[in-house]
Amino acid sequence: MSTRLWVSDDFESLVGQAAQWLIQAMVDHQADSNRPFSLALAGGSTPKRLYQVLSQTAQQQGVDWYKVLLVLGDERNVPADHQDSNYRMIRENLLGGIQIPDDNILTIPDPGGDATVAAEKYERILRDRLTKRPDGWPMLDCVLLGLGDDVHTASLFPDSSALTQSRRCYVANWVAKLDCWRMTATFPLVNSAERVAFLVSGASKSSALQALWHSPHDLHRFPAQGIAPQRAELNFFVDRAALGSVVPPQGLVVETD
Ligand code: 6PG
């Protein structure tokens, strides 16, 4: 696994770099392949601006959304129109501005009810709709991830049961610190992707980057350390506020804008 660090002066530049990286990957894929480009979207607040930029520019730069499958990297266990829903955030910041068939948007059935049942249904949808690798794992062409202050990513939180999941690609996960259920892609699914990119912005994330890159390996304390795609390049799009005085690990390829 190679790792590339993209350092931007500010958040807007981070978004621009990540958007161009992703659009190029999608355009290149669509030029070379007949199968759809499967993109797992991160939740939370950081990616909102990226989704807005994608909705405004990707089609003009050659992305055919009819040849894209959109996946929820994780979701809160709330109805799809709830203010905390990642799907709602994606609908409001991306979907409203692009021409993509509803069937290409892989939504989680009945969120807000039984999270275990919803995650099981979504697992079946992913295994049905995504291309399979020879080892049988569904393959995502790109996974976008955020990074929590506690070094969680997707809804893989410290000390949660999903961290040890090795058979499933999507599970319900009880998050004790939030006293709520989440539904999330698992490490095996993310780590079988073709491309993985973290989006990390703001000074509040510096300590999480420090722990992620320099603390002893401990999945239960620092879940994002479990993101290690076997076949893919792992990308970090960070701004200088998030990087702060954190020294990137040896061997990272560093791109600056
Ligand atoms: C979610 C996300 C979560 C998020 C991080 C960072 O559902 O909230 O999947 O993993 O990416 O918590 O969130 P911010 O981008 O809001 O800082």
Condensed to tens digits (0 to 9), the pLDDT of residues 197-248 reads 999 999 999 999 999 999 999 999 999 999 998 888 899 999 999 999 999 9
Establish whether residue 41 lines the binding site of ligand 1, counting it when its CB lies within 6 angstroms of any ligand atom: no
Kind of pairing, strands 253-256 and 2-8?
parallel
**C-alpha of residue 244 to centroid of ligand 1, in Å:** 20
pTM of the model: 0.98
- Spatial distance between the Cα atoms of 99 and 64, rounded to a whole number of angstroms: 8
**C-alpha of residue 31 to centroid of ligand 1, in Å:** 32
Mutational test site, ligand 1, from 51, 74, 173, max ligand atoms within 8 Å of CB? 74
Residue 1 predicted with pLDDT over 80? no
Amino acid at 244: G
Those residues whose C-beta lies under 8 Å from the C-beta of residue 172, and which sit 6 or more positions away, are: 77, 115, 116, 118, 119, 181, 182, 183
Those residues whose C-beta lies under 8 Å from the C-beta of residue 32, and which sit 6 or more positions away, are: none
- Cross-strand pairs, 254: 5
Condensed to tens digits (0 to 9), the pLDDT of residues 45-86 reads 999 999 999 999 999 999 999 999 999 999 999 999 999 999
Establish whether residue 85 lines the binding site of ligand 1, counting it when its CB lies within 6 angstroms of any ligand atom: no
**C-alpha of residue 153 to centroid of ligand 1, in Å:** 7
CB atoms within 10 A of CB 116: 15
Match 């994002």 to its residue by tokens: 224
Report DSSP letters for 160-198, one per residue.
-GGGG--S-SEEEEEEGGGTEEEEEE-HHHHTTSSEEEE
CB atoms within 10 A of CB 221: 14
- Cross-strand pairs, 39: 70, 142
Establish whether residue 223 lines the binding site of ligand 1, counting it when its CB lies within 6 angstroms of any ligand atom: no
